[in-house]
Amino acid sequence: MTVGDFGSFDCHRERGPYAGVDAFLARIAPAVRPRLVARHQVELFAVAPRLDPRPPAQEQPIRFHPARRTACLAYGVAEFVAAWAQTLSGPATVRFEHTAEADETTVELLHALTARLDGGPLRLILDDGGTVEPPRMDTAPDAIRTALGDSLARGFYHHAQRLAQRGRDLLSPQDDLRNWWAYTTGLATALSALDRADEALRLYDQTRMVTDDRRTLMSAAYSTAMLYARHLRPDAQDQSRARDWLEQAITLAAGIEDPKQRLVTTVFYEQGIALLDSRAGEHARALRLVDDGLSRLEGALAPGERPQDVARLYHNRAQVHLALGDRQRAMSDLDRVVARDPGNSEYYIDRAALHRAAGRTRAASRDYDEAIRLGPHLPEAYYNRAVIRQEQDRPGLAAEDFGRALAIDPGHLDARVALVNLHLEQRALDRAEAQARDGLAVLPDEPVLLCTLGLVRSEHGDLAGADALLTLAVTRAPELVEAWTNRAAVRFEQGDVTAALADLDRAVALSQAPVPLYNRGAALARLGRWDEAVQDLTVALAQPELDRSLRRDLRAELTRCRRAAARR
Within a domain: residue 482? no
Identify the band that residue 60 occupies on the pLDDT scale cut at 50, 70 and 90. Answer: low
pTM, 2 dp: 0.90
Instruction: For residue 53, count other CB atoms closer than 10 A to its CB.
Output: 6
**Rounded CA Rg of the chain:** 28
Q: Which element (helix H / strand E) includes 435?
A: helix 429-442
Tell which of 127, 142, 159 closes a domain.
127
Residue 209 is given by DSSP the state: H
Residue 57 is given by DSSP the state: P
Within a domain: residue 161? no
pLDDT of 75-90, one tens digit each? 999 999 999 999 998 9
For 546, the domain range is 512-568
Within a domain: residue 142? no
pLDDT of 168-193, one tens digit each? 999 999 999 999 999 999 999 999 99
Instruction: Name the amino acid, one letter, at 281.
Output: G
Within a domain: residue 371? no
Higher pLDDT, 276 or 132: 276
Tell which of 105, 127, 149 closes a domain.
127
Within a domain: residue 461? no
pLDDT computed for residue 1 by the predictor: 43
Strands laid side by side in the 122-127 sheet: 5-10, 92-97, 122-127
> Mean pLDDT, to the nearest integer, of 383-408?
96
Distance CA 500, CA 467 (A): 11
pLDDT computed for residue 231 by the predictor: 84
pLDDT computed for residue 135 by the predictor: 52
pLDDT computed for residue 132 by the predictor: 55
Contact 418, 383 (CB under 8 A): yes
Contact 51, 77 (CB under 8 A): no
Within a domain: residue 343? no
Q: Which element (helix H / strand E) includes 92?
A: strand 92-97
Within a domain: residue 247? no
pLDDT of 396-451, one tens digit each? 999 999 999 999 999 999 999 999 999 999 999 999 999 999 999 999 999 999 99
pLDDT computed for residue 3 by the predictor: 56
Contact 298, 314 (CB under 8 A): no
Q: Which element (helix H / strand E) includes 200?
A: helix 197-210
How many residues make up the chain in this entry?
A: 568
Tell which of 71, 93, 127 closes a domain.
127
Contact 450, 468 (CB under 8 A): no
Contact 18, 107 (CB under 8 A): no
59-81 as b/e: b if 16+ CB within 10 A: eeeeebbebebbbbbbbbbbbbb
Within a domain: residue 547? yes
The answer, yes or no, to whether residue 476 has pLDDT greater than 70, is: yes
Total count of domains within the chain: 2
From 114, 77, 90, 96, select the one nearest 1 (Cα to Cα).
Answer: 90
Low-confidence winner among 207-216, 328-337, 472-481, 558-567 (lowest mean pLDDT): 558-567
Identify the band that residue 237 occupies on the pLDDT scale cut at 50, 70 and 90. Answer: confident
Mean pLDDT of the chain: 93
Low-confidence winner among 202-216, 226-240, 354-368 (lowest mean pLDDT): 226-240
pLDDT computed for residue 567 by the predictor: 85
pLDDT of 305-361, one tens digit each? 999 999 999 999 999 999 999 999 999 999 999 999 999 999 999 999 999 999 999
The answer, yes or no, to whether residue 44 has pLDDT greater than 90, is: yes
Tell me what percent of the residues of the chain surpass a pLDDT of 90: 87
How far lies 511's CA from each of 201, 472, 479, 514, 546, in Å? 41, 20, 10, 9, 15
Contact 118, 110 (CB under 8 A): no
Identify the band that residue 11 occupies on the pLDDT scale cut at 50, 70 and 90. Answer: very high
SS3 assignment, position 428: coil
Strand partners, 540: none
